[in-house]
Amino acid sequence: MPPKPRVLETRVEDLSKAISRRCRDMPTPCGRCKQLGLRCQVEVSSGRCTTCASQHKTCDLRVTYQEFQKLASVREKLEREMEEAEQELSDAEDRAQKARAKVRRLRKTLRRAEQKEAKKLEWEIVSLEEVEKLTAEAVGSATLELPDLSTPGHPLPEFSWDA
């Protein structure tokens, strides 16, 4: 039993859409596109333009050697650009990885420095408390008695300028 016309139309439309998604404008249009004054858009692997595919007609497109060369050079250029972009991405990822490692290393070093600083501060506080304690003990045990010079008639010790 032959396929239903509706199914065939749907398949033709799907083919036309698929070609138009991957198509390239051809510098030399096929006969039908030239006659209708349309852009001839071709998906090279199918060998058909979107106009002929949508009308379910045979496409008489003749792709010249120069057109194939041009398409091949465009593809090669895009492949090179893609490889360069992938290399740039890889380099950027390497730099980012090194930067993350540096940040982790610096954080670890900073934590150690902060811990060391905290210990030194602790030691300094203990040291100052000990000095204050020793000073208080020394002042409390060594009281020096000085004569009261404010009372009248208190004899001053003899002083000689010649000594």
CA distances from 58 to 25, 30, 55, 79, 89 (A): 18, 10, 9, 32, 45
**Burial zone of 12 (CB within 10 Å; 0-12 exposed, 13-18 middle, 19+ buried):** middle
Note the pTM of the prediction, 2 decimals.
0.41
Mean pLDDT of 69-94: 93
Q: What is the mean pLDDT of the chain?
A: 81
Q: Does 161 fall in a domain?
A: no
Q: Does 13 reside within a domain?
A: yes
Residue 132 lies in a domain: no
In a domain, 73, yes or no: no
Give a yes or no: residue 140 inside a domain.
no
The domain total for the chain is 1
- Is 102 within the bounds of a domain? no
- Location of structure tokens 């204050």: 132
Domain annotation covers residue 59: yes
Give residue 52's pLDDT band: very low, low, confident or very high (50, 70, 90): confident
- Does some domain include residue 144? no
Domain containing 54 equals 5-63
Q: What would the mean pLDDT of 86-106 be, rounded to a whole number?
A: 97
